[in-house]
Amino acid sequence: MPWGYFGSHLLFLLSFSPLLFFDYTIATETETDLPLIPTDKLIVLTVATQETDGFHRFMQSAKYFNYNVKVLGNGIEWKGGDVANTIGGGQKVRLLKEALESYDDHEDLVVLFTDSYDVIFSGGPEELLKKFQQTNHKVVFAAEGLVWPDKRLADKYPVVRSGKRFLNSGGFIGYTSHVNKIAQQWDLQDNDDDQLFYTKVYINPLQRERINITLDHKSNIFQNLNGAVDEVVLTFDNGKARVKNSQYDTLPLLIHGNGPTKVQLNYFGNYIPNVWTPETGCGTCDLNMIDLSAVNDYPKVTVGIFIEQPTPFLSELFSKLMSLEYPKEKMDIFIHNAEVYHEKHIQKFWEEAKGVYRKLKVVGPEEMLSQAEARNMGMDICRQDKDCSYYFNLDADVALTNPKTLKILIEQNRKIIAPLVTRHGKLWSNFWGSLSADGYYARSEDYIDIVQSNKVGLWNVPYMANVYLIKGETLRSELKEKNHFILDRLDPDMALCRNAREMSLQREKDSPSSETFHMFRPPKGVFMYITNRHEFGRLLSMANYNTTHYNNDLWQIFENPVDWKEKYLNVNYSRIFTENFFEQPCPDVFWFPVFSEKACDELVEEMENYGEWSGSRNLDKRIAGGYENVPTDDIHMKQIGMELEWLHFIREYIAPVTLKVFAGYYTKGHAMLNFVVKYTPERQSYLRPHHDASTFTINIALNKKGVDFQGGGCKFARYNCSLDSPRKGWSFMHPGRLTHLHEGLPVTNGTRYIAVSFIDP
Catalytically annotated residues = 752
Nearest to 479 by CA among 376, 571, 396: 376
β-strand pairing of 359-363 with 388-395: unpaired
* Residues sharing a CB contact under 8 Å with residue 183, sequence separation 6 or more, in sequence order: 93, 96, 97, 100
Distances (CA, A) of 322 to 197, 539, 662: 61, 18, 42
**Residue 3: burial class (beta carbons within 10 Å; 0-12, 13-18, 19+):** exposed
DSSP letter string over 452-470?
A: TTSS-SEEEESEE-SEEEE
Nearest to 431 by CA among 442, 420, 416, 439: 420
Give Cα 570 distance to the centre of its chain: 32
Q: What are phi and psi of 414, to 5 degrees?
A: -120, 155
Nearest to 221 by CA among 274, 154, 157, 170: 170
Q: How far apart, in whole angstroms, are the C-alpha atoms of residue 547 and residue 311?
A: 9
What is the 3 state secondary structure string of 61-115?
A: HHHHCCCCEEEECCCCCCCCCCCCCCCCEHHHHHHHHHHHHHHCCCCCCEEEEEC
**Rama region for 304: left / alpha / beta (φ>0; ψ in -120 to 50; rest):** beta
Torsion angle in degrees (nearest 10) through CA of 236, 237, 240, 245: -70
Residue burial 471-492, b: 16+ Cβ < 10 Å; e: rest: bbebbeebbeeeebbbbeebeb
Give Cα 100 distance to the centre of its chain: 44
Nearest to 313 by CA among 553, 562, 536: 553
Q: How far apart, in whole angstroms, are the C-alpha atoms of residue 112 and residue 175?
A: 9
* Residues sharing a CB contact under 8 Å with residue 280, sequence separation 6 or more, in sequence order: 239, 274
Q: How far apart, in whole angstroms, are the C-alpha atoms of residue 114 and residue 96?
A: 11
**Roughly what angle, to the nearest 10 degrees, separates helices 314-322 and 343-353?**
20
* Residues sharing a CB contact under 8 Å with residue 701, sequence separation 6 or more, in sequence order: 600, 726, 727, 728, 729, 730, 731, 753, 754
**Residue 354: burial class (beta carbons within 10 Å; 0-12, 13-18, 19+):** exposed
Summarize the chain as % helix, strand, coil (round to 5): 30, 25, 45
Q: How far apart, in whole angstroms, are the C-alpha atoms of residue 41 and residue 224?
A: 25
Q: How far apart, in whole angstroms, are the C-alpha atoms of residue 679 and residue 632?
A: 8
SS3 499: helix
